[in-house]
């Protein structure tokens, strides 16, 4: 076992190494990374999360960093590359501050309390004034398109950005949930069931379909026109001879035939009850017997069996029905188990045959699904990953900025620095409290190109001049310097000074809706900064790393096993000697 003391310099080296990998793909003009495998597979991508998770990393800190990035992307859908830029910028600032005498522990405590004591108030009271709301506005679809185009420029090739952005706008518009947090959350939660990847076709063949595509073919298909009544079941509808694992012994052939006739009569009565309820479609998560399928064919009832349980649950949700789970008792099927669908037809997507089902409007939402194509499996998967990220990003963007963090040690920190509020801020009495809550308007947008970073940099420096607490001043200056890492990468060299000068000439900017080339969500930017601060706090709390090799662990287990075997053998020999002595005495 090797012991390594973790220094800020080590953290900085690892962060800068990962930053160098993803940095060349950053921004709308960034390139792509080519990965090859021994099997001949090739991956070309500019998705930061995909790049990081494809790397083989040896150092445990690097793996922890990638894990933190993955956790953030799961929540916000974007920001892997910006995450590393901000983290590396913060570590560079801490390294420089340490050379000037700043204690590492003190910096960690200041950054940990920075979010609730400073950042939340700056976002709420300062940056929110310059954000353009997605709703209400005259053209929410136009703003949604500008938001998604900016997102796809960092994820996929430039030739596909416009088309995929139009698909997202069409998808949310047909769902009727543009700007609606509930609909966006529903789409994000069930995205796995709301899309189908079809490799072998160009990306331009991707489309939005009404209803849902269930990835099972019809076991029985009968003619169906117009609105239908359907039932979803999670059990086999015919009673078997015995439960699974139980052997049945029949005395004669006549007894067997009698039981078969009883089963047939039961299934026939069950189908009659379904016909009485005017059911035309049976959706099942289990395989039904040939007897059930035969009687369904005669009754004109289409059957889709062996469905995924999540897909069947979504069918019940959109159809407004309960799942029937009472085995063999058809009489219990009632109106509460009946779903209404607008159509049901087969669909051929690539090599697969599926069931395509439409649903009526429910609670203001009209279900639709996505068919995402790609000429090769890798590109189709890239489109799926990009769409998965954009629906998560839109879910976060449509929600108000909400922060609720509890810090057990904040009372002690407030005793050290009691002057954290800016002057003339009477509304911020809860800014340094144990629980801080922020609620901004949903869909707050800022123009892309560094507007968020320049604004935050300016207001953090302004806040630092209004507080007398040295720790708060240091934290504000650290974060203010780190956030400029993003526009520095967007505008390399002299272009950064030009962009910053242009921003200062137009300060304070007014909320811009028209004229911007793209937008980004302020809620996602806030979430990114919070995730970076939490990751940095976790890393700075580590003192040493214990390196253990698998070979040494296996050798240690082998030695322990040999010792245990030797002890058992010694005990057996001792017991045998005792028995021999007792026999000799007898």
Same domain, 436 and 353: no
Give yes or no for a cis peptide into 70 (omega within 30° of 0).
no
Q: Residue 244 pLDDT more than 50?
A: yes
- Give residue-wise pLDDT tens across range 269-295: 888 889 999 999 999 999 988 889 998
Q: Which residue has the higher pLDDT, 339 or 563?
A: 339
Q: Which of 215, 195, 216, 214 is nearest to 206 (CA)?
A: 195
With a CB cutoff of 8 Å and minimum separation 6, the contacts of 142 are: none
- Look up residue 565 and give its two tokens: 């075997």
Residue 152 falls inside a structural domain = no
pTM to 2 decimal places:
0.81
Asked whether residue 385 is domain-assigned, the answer is no
Q: What is the pLDDT of residue 132?
A: 77
The three-point CA angle 290-242-333 to 5° equals 60
Residues 229, 313: one domain?
A: yes
Q: Which residue would you say has higher pLDDT here, 420 or 176? A: 176
Going from the C-alpha of 69 to that of each of 48, 78, 113, 503, the distances in angstroms are: 9, 9, 21, 30
CATH of the domain at 316: 3.50.7.10
pLDDT value, residue 427: 30
Going across the sheet that includes 207-210, the strands are: 195-199, 368-374, 207-210
What single string gives the DSSP state of each residue in 393-417?
A: HHHHHHSPP----B-TTHHHHHHH-
* Omega before residue 508 within 30° of 0, cis: yes
One domain, residues 354 and 479: no
Q: Is the pLDDT of residue 236 over 80?
A: yes
> Phi and psi dihedrals of 427, rounded to 5?
-85, 0
Instruction: Give the burial class of 158: count Cβ atoms within 10 A of its Cβ; 0-12 exposed, 13-18 middle, 19 or more buried.
Output: exposed
CA angle 464, 466, 470 (to 5 degrees): 50
- Among the candidates 540, 557, 579, a domain finishes at 540
Is the Cβ–Cβ distance between 310 and 194 less than 8 Å?
A: no
Q: Count of CB atoms within 10 A of residue 256's CB?
A: 13
Residue 216 pLDDT exceeds 90: yes
Give the C-alpha distances (Å, rounded to integers) separating 261 from 37, 116, 248, 265, 266: 59, 73, 17, 6, 9
Strands 33-36 and 444-447: unpaired
Asked whether residue 409 is assigned to any structural domain, the reply reads yes
β-strand 33-36 against 343-349: which pairing, if any?
unpaired
Domain finish residue from 341, 358, 375: 358
CATH assignment at residue 489: 1.10.560.10
How far is the C-alpha of 46 from the C-alpha of 61, rounded, in Å?
A: 23
Task: Please give the Cα distance from 329 to 306 (Å, whole number).
Answer: 20
Kindly report the backbone phi and psi dihedral angles of residue 320, in degrees, each rounded to the nearest multiple of 5, phi listed first.
Answer: 70, 40
- 351 and 235 in a single domain? The answer is yes
User: CB count, 10 Å around CB of 260?
Assistant: 12
Under the banding of pLDDT at 50, 70 and 90, the label for residue 478 is very high
Domains held by the chain: number: 2
The reply to whether 405 and 333 lie within a common domain is no
Give the tens place of pLDDT for each residue, 148-200. 999 999 888 888 999 999 999 999 999 998 878 889 999 999 999 999 999 99
Do residue 231 and residue 352 come from a single domain?
yes
Lowest mean pLDDT among 38-52, 452-466, 496-510, 520-534: 496-510
- Kindly state whether residue 514 falls inside one of the protein's structural domains: yes
In the prediction, which pLDDT does 551 show? 58
Which of helix, strand or coil describes residue 361? coil
Is 217 contained in some domain?
yes
Q: Would you say 93 and 478 are in contact if contact means Cβ atoms under 8 Å apart?
A: yes
What is the pLDDT at residue 569? Answer: 65
Domain-located, residue 165: no
Distance CA 586, CA 584 (A): 5
Boundary of a domain, candidates 338, 358, 378: 358
**Do 346 and 270 sit in the same domain of this protein?**
yes
How does the average pLDDT of the chain come out, rounded?
Answer: 83
Report whether 387 contacts 372 (CB < 8 A): yes
Supply the pLDDT for residue 205.
94
**Where is pLDDT greater, at 551 or 54?**
54
Instruction: Report which of 304, 290, 400 is spatially closest to residue 346, judged by C-alpha positions.
Output: 304
Q: In percent, how much of the chain has pLDDT > 90?
A: 46
Q: Are 133 and 421 in contact (CB under 8 A)?
A: no
517 or 33, greater pLDDT: 33
Separation between Cα atoms, residue 189 and residue 500, nearest integer Å:
39
Report pLDDT for 340.
92
Same domain, residue pair 411 and 279: no
State whether 11 and 130 are in the same domain. Answer: yes
- The yes-or-no verdict on residue 388 having pLDDT over 90 is yes
Expressed as residue numbers, the domain containing 331 is: 212-241+253-358
Predicted local distance difference test score (pLDDT) of residue 411:
39
- Give domain status of residue 267, yes or no: yes
For residues 344 and 436, membership in a common domain is answered with: no
112-126 tens-digit pLDDT: 889 888 998 898 888
CB 165 within 8 A of CB 519: no
DSSP state of 335: G
530/430 Cα distance (integer angstroms): 19
Residues 339 and 258 in one domain: yes
Are 351 and 452 contained in the same domain?
A: no
Confidence (pLDDT) at 468: 86
Whether 35 is covered by a domain: the verdict is: yes
Q: What is the average per-residue pLDDT within 214-235?
A: 91
Among the listed ranges 194-198, 202-206, 409-413, which one has the minimum average pLDDT value?
Answer: 409-413
Report residue 246's pLDDT band, with 50, 70 and 90 as the boundaries: low
- Give 186's DSSP letter: H
Confidence band for 250, pLDDT divided at 50, 70 and 90? low
């Amino acid at each position: 076992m090797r012991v390594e003391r973790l220094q800020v310099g080590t953290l900085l080296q690892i962060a800068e190494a990962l930053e160098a990998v993803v940095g060349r793909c950053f921004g709308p003009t960034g390139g792509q990374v080519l990965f090859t495998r021994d099997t001949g597979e090739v991956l070309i991508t500019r998705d930061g999360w995909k790049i990081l998770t494809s790397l083989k990393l040896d150092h445990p800190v690097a793996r922890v960093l990638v894990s933190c990035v993955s956790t953030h992307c799961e929540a916000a859908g974007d920001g892997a590359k910006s995450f590393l830029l901000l983290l590396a910028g913060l570590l560079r600032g801490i390294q420089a501050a340490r050379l000037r005498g700043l204690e590492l522990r003190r910096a960690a405590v200041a950054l940990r309390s920075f979010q609730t004591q400073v950042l939340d108030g700056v976002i709420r009271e300062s940056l929110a004034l310059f954000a353009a709301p997605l709703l209400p506005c005259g053209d929410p679809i136009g703003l949604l398109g500008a938001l998604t185009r900016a997102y796809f420029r960092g994820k996929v090739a430039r030739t596909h950005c416009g088309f995929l952005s139009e698909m997202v706008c069409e998808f949310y518009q047909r769902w009727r949930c543009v700007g609606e947090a509930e609909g966006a959350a529903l789409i994000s939660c069930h995205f796995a069931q709301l899309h189908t990847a079809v490799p072998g076709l160009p990306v331009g063949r991707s489309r939005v379909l009404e209803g849902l595509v269930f990835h099972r073919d019809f076991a029985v298909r009968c003619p169906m026109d117009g609105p239908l009544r359907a039932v979803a079941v999670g059990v086999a509808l015919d009673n078997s001879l015995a439960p699974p694992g139980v052997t049945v012994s029949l005395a004669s052939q006549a007894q067997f035939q009698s039981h078969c006739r009883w089963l047939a009569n039961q299934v026939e009565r069950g189908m009659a009850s379904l016909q009485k309820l005017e059911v035309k479609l049976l959706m099942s998560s289990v395989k039904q017997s040939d007897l059930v399928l035969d009687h369904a064919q005669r009754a004109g009832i289409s059957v889709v069996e062996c469905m995924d349980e999540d897909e069947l649950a979504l069918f019940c949700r959109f159809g407004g029905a309960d799942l029937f789970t009472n085995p063999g008792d058809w009489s219990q099927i009632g109106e509460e188990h009946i779903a209404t669908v607008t159509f049901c037809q087969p669909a051929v997507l690539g090599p697969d045959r599926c069931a395509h089902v439409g649903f009526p409007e429910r609670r203001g939402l009209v279900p639709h699904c996505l068919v995402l194509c790609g000429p090769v499996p890798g590109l189709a998967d890239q489109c799926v990953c990009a769409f998965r990220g954009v629906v998560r990003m839109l879910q976060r963007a449509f929600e108000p900025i909400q922060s609720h963090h509890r810090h057990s040690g904040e009372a002690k920190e407030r005793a050290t620095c009691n002057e954290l509020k800016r002057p003339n801020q009477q509304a911020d009495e809860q800014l340094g409290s144990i629980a801080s809550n922020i609620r901004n308007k949903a869909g707050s947008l800022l123009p892309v190109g560094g507007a968020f970073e320049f604004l935050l940099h300016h207001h953090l420096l302004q806040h630092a001049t209004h507080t007398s607490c040295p720790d708060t001043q240091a934290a504000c200056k650290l974060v203010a310097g780190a956030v400029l890492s993003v526009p520095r990468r967007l505008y390399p060299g002299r272009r950064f000074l030009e962009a910053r000068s242009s921003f200062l000439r137009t300060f304070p900017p007014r909320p811009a809706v028209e004229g911007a080339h793209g937008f980004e969500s302020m809620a996602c930017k806030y979430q990114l900064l919070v995730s970076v601060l939490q990751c940095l706090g976790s890393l700075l709390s580590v003192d040493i790393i214990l390196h253990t090799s698998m070979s040494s662990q296996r050798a240690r287990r082998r030695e322990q096993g040999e010792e245990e075997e030797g002890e058992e053998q010694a005990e057996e020999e001792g017991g045998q000697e005792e028995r021999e002595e007792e026999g000799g005495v007898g």
